[in-house]
Amino acid sequence: MGVKPGWQGRFFEDFEIGDVYQHPLGRTVSEADNTWFTLLTMNTNQMHFNAEYAAKSEFGRPLVVSTFTVAIAVGQSVTDLTQNAFANLGWDDIKMTHPVFAGDTLWSESIVLEKRESASRPHAGIVTVRTRTLNQDGKEVCSFKRTFYVYRRGAEQIEDVFPAAERPLTLEN
């Protein structure tokens, strides 16, 4: 019996150009999500929080804040892409291709476009992916390119980060 490591995420060596990762967790957006994100980010556009105002638009109801949609897409991708990243270098070509409404369930997937060794950081590499997010009907609601620094396997910066317990975990305690 011993410690069994859980999912450690991907390291620079694990990425191959053309690999597609369908991120495992879907996320249903609620009205509360949209309202909170609107408040937290100080977005004053009434299309996101005023049902009467939004009813007069071509959409007929409030839209989910587009930056929340991007935040969900990025969050959904962390498990597969950036669990071992230490810096985002950029987001490019962000497109909002279909409206998102409260009640929609979002899923994201990413394809590896590029990877290269870091000239200044031998413990890491640089990876570029394209991520797209689909709603429950398979319609693409957003897409973007993202570039990030990711550690190589065995990088000393991520060794021994789990704290040593004062006492070991056993069946008795």
Q: For 56-76, what is the mean pLDDT? A: 96
Instruction: Please report whether residue 96 resides in a domain.
Output: yes
SS3 173: coil
**Chain center to CA of 123:** 23
Q: What is the CATH number of the domain that holds 113?
A: 3.10.129.10
Residues across the chain: 173
- Residue 95 confidence (pLDDT) above 90: yes
**Please, what is the end-to-end C-alpha distance for the chain in angstroms?**
16
Instruction: Please report whether residue 170 resides in a domain.
Output: no
Instruction: Please report whether residue 116 resides in a domain.
Output: yes
Q: What is the pLDDT of residue 1?
A: 62
Instruction: Please report whether residue 163 resides in a domain.
Output: no
The total domain count for the chain is: 1
CA atoms of 75 and 156, how far apart (whole Å): 25
The dihedral of CA 12, 16, 17, 20: what is its sign?
Answer: negative
Q: What is the pLDDT of residue 159?
A: 85
Instruction: Please report whether residue 119 resides in a domain.
Output: yes
Q: For 17-28, what is the mean pLDDT? A: 97
Instruction: Please report whether residue 137 resides in a domain.
Output: yes
Task: Tell me which residue range forms the domain holding 28.
Answer: 12-154
Q: What is the pLDDT of residue 7?
A: 82
Q: For 17-37, what is the mean pLDDT? A: 96
